[in-house]
A and B are shown apart, each in its own frame.
Chain A
Amino acid sequence: MTQDMLLTMVSGVPWTIALTAVALLIGVVLGIPLCAMRMSKLVVLRMVANTLILTLRAIPPIVWLFFIFFGLDTGFVSLNPFQAAAIGLGLITAANMAEIYRGAMSAIHSGQSEASMALGLSTYHRFFDVLGPQLFRVALPSAASYAIGLLKDSAIASTIGVHEIAFQASHVSQRTFRGLDVYAVAGLLYILLSLPIAWASRWADLHLRARVAR
C-alpha cells in the first residue's frame, strides 16, 4: 500500500463524518415532531406519523438514496450527491429517532407528567424542563448505537458518488487491482471513527447516571 493510496482513502474520512453528522442532526431534530405526532391524541396525525415511520424504515436506505438522487433530481430540484444522501439518511434517522424517543418516553414514569401538570407547568415547560432532560438520559445509549450504525450505513452513499471512505476504497481498488489491503484499511477507518462515539456515549451515560441515579 503506497502513501498515495492511503491518502486517497483518508480523504474520504471528512465526507463520512460530515454525512453522518448532518444525517444525525436532521434525524435528532425531525425525530421530535415525528414522535410527538406518533403519540398525538389526534388519529389523523398518528396515522400520518405511522405511515411515514413505516415507509422510511421498511424501504432499504439504498433505494431511498436512488429515489431521492435519481428520482427527484430529474424534475424541479437539483441535488448534489451529498445533499441527496444527507436528506435520505436524515429522514430514515428521523423515523428511527422517533421510535427511540417513544421508547424512552414510556420508560419515564407517568407521575412525572402528572406532577408537572399539577404544578401548572405549560406543555412547553413540561417538555423542556421535566420530560426532555430525562428523555435525553434514557434515549442516549440507543441513540449512540444508532449513530454507529448510521456511520456504517453512510457507505451506501458511495453508490451515488459521495466521496466518502467506501467510495475512495472502491476507487483505489479498481485503479490498483488490490482488494484485500484496501478494504481492510477502509474497515480500520470505520472502526477508528466509531470508537469515539462509543466512548463519548459511555462517558456521558456514566456522568449522567452519577448525577441522576434513579
Chain B
Amino acid sequence: MSLNSSSIPQADVASRPPLLRLDAIGKTFGTHVVLEDIDLSLAAGEVVAIIGPSGSGKSTLLRCINQLEPPTTGRVTIGDTTIEAGHTPTRRELMALRRNIGMVFQSFNLFPHLTVLRNVSLAQERVMGRTREQADAVSMQLLARVGLADKAQQFPSRCSGGQQQRIAIARALALDPQIMLFDEPTSALDPELGLEVLAVMRELAEGGMTMIVVTHEMRFAENVSDRVIIMADGRIVEQGPSGTVMRNPQTERAQRFLHAVKDR
C-alpha cells in the first residue's frame, strides 16, 4: 500500500484500530509540570505532527512513549503491551515496547566508534538475533534506500549532519518498527541538509509508516502529516486534520502560535 498517506480520508484512518494509545499521560519533574493529561491514539499508517512553542512538552511526550522518560501518570499501550505509570516495567515489557518503536533524535546519536554499517546492524544482531550476514544485508538495503550505501564503511564523523540523520533513520528502521518517533529530526541541521532528511521522511510516510514527528517544519506538518497536534504548556491545545488545523485553527493559543511561525 503505497498511497500518499495524506490522501487517506480522515474517517478511514480513524476507523482502524489504534496501534498506539496514550491515556492520561502526565509528567512532572519535582514540582514542575511538563505534561498534563495527554490522550492520544494512533492508527496504523497515520502520520502525526506535533508542533508548538519550545518548552511545551513535545519532546518529553515523545520520550514518554518509549519510556526514555517514564511518565508520572497514565498508560502507554502498543499492541499487547501496556505500561502503566508508577509500576516499573519489566525488562520484557520494555523490550517489547522499544522493539516496536523506532526513534530518531535531534542530535542523531550515531555510535561514533562503529562504522555506518555496524551502526545499522548492531541492534539487529543483539535484539533480533540476526546473524551478522543477515543484518549487514538488511543494513545495506536500508542504506541504499536512504541513499547512503557508499558510506557503509565510513565512520559517522566523516558524514555530514544530513547524512548522519539519514543513517540514524536507517538504524531505527532496521528493527522493523511499527511506529517511528522523530524528535525534531532537522533542528540541528542547516536548511539544505534538513531537506534531504525531510525527503526521506516523506517517502517513509508515503510508504505507509506510522509516524509521530515533533517538528518546527510547518510545511512538513501541513503537507505530509495526516493530523497535526498543537501543544502548549504541557497540554494539547488543538488537534485535527493537518489542513484544517494549519489553515484554520480554532483556539486562541493555536492561532497565536501559528501566526508567530507562519512564515517558516
Report which A residues bind B (CB closer than 8 A): 109, 111-112, 114-115, 117-122, 125, 129-130, 133-134, 137, 211-214
Apart from the given pairs A115-B110, A120-B99, A125-B126, 18 other A-B contacts in the complex at a CB distance below 8 Å: A112-B111, A115-B103, A115-B105, A115-B168, A117-B98, A118-B68, A119-B127, A120-B175, A121-B126, A122-B91, A130-B122, A134-B111, A211-B155, A212-B112, A212-B113, A212-B155, A212-B157, A214-B157
Inter-chain contact A129/B122, CB cutoff 8 Å: yes
Chain A residue, CB-CB nearest to B174:
A119
Verify if B123 is at the interface (C-beta below 8 Å from A). Answer: yes
- Chain A: minimal CB distance from B213 (Å): 15
Residues of B within 8 A of A (CB): 66, 68, 91, 94-95, 98-99, 101-103, 105, 107-113, 122-123, 126-127, 155, 157-158, 168, 171-172, 175
- A114 engages B127 (CB within 8 Å): no
- Knowing A111-B105, A117-B68, A118-B66, the reply to whether A214 touches B126 (Cβ < 8 A) is no
Say whether chain A's binding surface is mostly helix, strand, loop, or mixed.
Answer: helix
Query: Can you list 9 A-B pairs, Cβ within 8 angstroms, ordered by A?
Result: A111-B107, A115-B105, A115-B109, A115-B110, A118-B103, A120-B94, A120-B127, A130-B111, A213-B155
Q: Given the complex, which residues of A lie within 8 Å of B110, measured CB to CB? A: 115
Q: A117-B68, A125-B126 are in contact. Are A112 and B109 (CB under 8 A)?
A: yes
Smallest distance from the beta carbon of B178 to chain A beta carbons, Å? Answer: 13
A97 to B150, CA, bound (A): 40
Q: Which residues of A sit under 8 angstroms from B123, Cβ to Cβ?
A: 119-121
Enumerate chain A residues within 8 angstroms of B111, measured Cβ to Cβ: 112, 115, 130, 134
Contacting pair A134 B98 (CB below 8 A): no
A112 cross-chain contacts in B, Cβ below 8 A = 109, 111
Task: State the CA gap A109–B107 with chains docked (Å).
Answer: 10
Q: Which residues on A sit within 8 Å (CB–CB) of B171?
A: 119
Tell whether, in the assembled complex, residue B105 and residue A114 are in contact, meaning their CB atoms are under 8 Å apart: yes
A129 with B103: CB separation less than 8 A: no
CA A111 to CA B122, docked complex, whole Å: 16
A4 to B99, CA, bound (A): 70
User: Is the CB–CB distance between A134 and B105 below 8 Å?
Assistant: no
Report the bound CA distance from A114 to B101 in whole Å.
13
Q: Chain B residue with minimal CB distance to A214?
A: B112
